Structure 1
Amino acid sequence: MRTRLTPRACGVLVGSIALLLAGQLLGYPMLRVLAGAGLAAVLISALTVVRRPKVTVERVLYPDRVECGQPALARLMVRNESTRRQPAFVAADTAGAHQSEVAVTALAPSGVATYHYELPTARRGPLPVGPLLLRRSDPFGLVSCQVSIGSAATLLVHPKRYAARTATGIRQRHHFEGPVSAGPLRGSIDLRRLREYVPGDEVRHVHWKASARAGRLMVREYVDPDQPRLQVLLDTRTTALTADQFDTAVSVAASILVVAAQSGQRLRLTTPCGTDHDVQSVSDLLDELARVEQSTTTTNLLESLPVARDGGALVVLTGDTAGLTEVPNLRSSYRPVVCIDLTHDEPALHTGAGVHIIHAAAAQNAVDAWNAVPA
């Protein structure tokens, strides 16, 4: 708890001391009385606010994940735990660079009050909220007291999404004609092989006869040769995109990936800063895109792209067209190949050598051009 004198109190103290000295020197008792009143006012004010508020404060964010630009609220529930009336105070809560102040009215013994305030969601990313600061001051504004209470929370602001269509024209793979992907796919129907059980495998896939013969648990591993796949390469290099352009790229990536996940396509997200994994769920994907940040790496963009031998669609989101010279060579591994350059003010769609190149500066224009890519 931190207690401090306000500038008004400092003025009262200085004035009181001056009156006291003048009263002593000039022999005016009234000046000494005024000086004593001023000093007493500061002392009494300090005594009224020095007591820590005996309240419990609970803050709940709802929702705790929200799309950029959508409303998010904090609910503040204050309960007076004492048997005495709790004087009014101010609860201040920080959310990033934004601060909200809630004027909590006086509470009766065991009284409860609930307050709501809006949180800023204009920018994508994790938004730290709190901790709460309770501030009290005396009626004369001479002394203020501040105490930190509760813990901090985090609001995840997901990237803004636009209406995008699923990737079309994806080359289908057939495991009986060539290699399949490295990992098995959930919900697949074609038996690939029998292997030893590992923690996390579904019990319904246990092959009991094979387990009895081998003397250890064996499970069936399935693949789906017809499930479309989508590879998204998001350029996180600061040399390729500005901060605003990067946020635009993340919004475009979210728009394309979410609709693909909802349609059952298999997804993989890759960045030059080390992100390279299969997307397991839409919520995990959005959380990942909310947290992704730019990096100062200067590696070649396409060096971070995994080698693919079994087709699938490739989407590259960048602003460095010079780093895309090798894109046409990827046609043997990916189809279709779509490069989205987010540094051009004039939206355009160019198709050549089997590669679709989109120029756009706004996320909406980029997604509109994506929807116009021929199958």
Structure 2
Amino acid sequence: MHQRFIAPGAYVQGAGVLESAGEEFATLDADRAYVLGGETALSTVEDEVVTGLDAAETEVGAITSEVGMCTHAVIDEQTERVRKTDADLVVGVGGGVAMDVATAVAHRTDTLLAVVPTIASTDAPTSTVAVVYDEAGNFQEVLHRDRNPELVLVDTAVVADAPARFLAHGMGDAMATHFEAQAVAASGGKTDAGGRSAFAAVDIAERAYRRVEDHGPDALAAVERNAVTPAVERIVEANTLLSGLGFESAGTAGAHAVQTGLTNVGVREPHGLLVAFGTIVELLVQDRDPEVLEAALEVVFDVGLDVTLDEIGVTDDDLARVGELACEHGMGQEPVDPSPERVADAVRTADELVCRRRDRPRRND
């Protein structure tokens, strides 16, 4: 198995970038666009997206704000609408759900794909990946488009206007990318890009984590006041581009496996929050050095991602099933061979560490 590194055609980020969206859309040379997203996201940037498409002389065939989940039924419905519209470009606007649906639909219809994230809560925008859930919110499968988005447009002024918790959730995804990349590289596992971990991707994944460690709290302080600072730009890039390139071409493992386990026992908390908790579990499963574990816990607390099992509604009786599900959905990418029991014990221990850490002073206290 060879290394494989994949990436979007273009990634454009900055405050006010949607004001020049026409120049970016024009590079795609599309005739007709189908725009999809959530109601909140489209209410925020629909005018700028439509203006940009008009400037690029790309007709807007249809706009839908009815995308609230990424299920097979939603993908089927949106695929049919794109075909009826005869669009050759799908534009996904919003958060992770909109990105996933747009990616799956663009693959089904063999159209171009542009994504316009309005929050930086996941690393989905740059990838080929669409995560599909059932109507109850349980994980079902991961679908892959045959190529990355042709264009990713991230207006950091829009991101900074969103609630700060979304940026924090993206940091949970970004920190997990580093430790999962290390795990997959050590185990020789296969990545979402379809090959062995690329050295560059592993390095990029580490940079994503270091950005969160160094700039996360400052970025959160800025977006609490709807401000765009260099720290915000660095964290948005870490959450979206660095983490996206890192997870796809370096691999996912234990942190996301735990998130899947928690989701499929009924937890409906944000992805990044669960992945951050899953990162602590992953480090315990690996029996990493105490200083590595402590540093990761410090980051989790610094950006407000600390959570306990009680707070997310998980009982001790659920943990055996969480361990089983995690081992079915990614723990095999770890450089150790954990049993469901070992994973369940690591979940218990992570919960205890969070509880104990709350009783200690924070770094800046």
TM-score range relative to shorter protein: under 0.3
Structure with greater Cα Rg: 1
1 or 2, which has the higher strand percentage?
1
TM-score (norm 2): 0.25
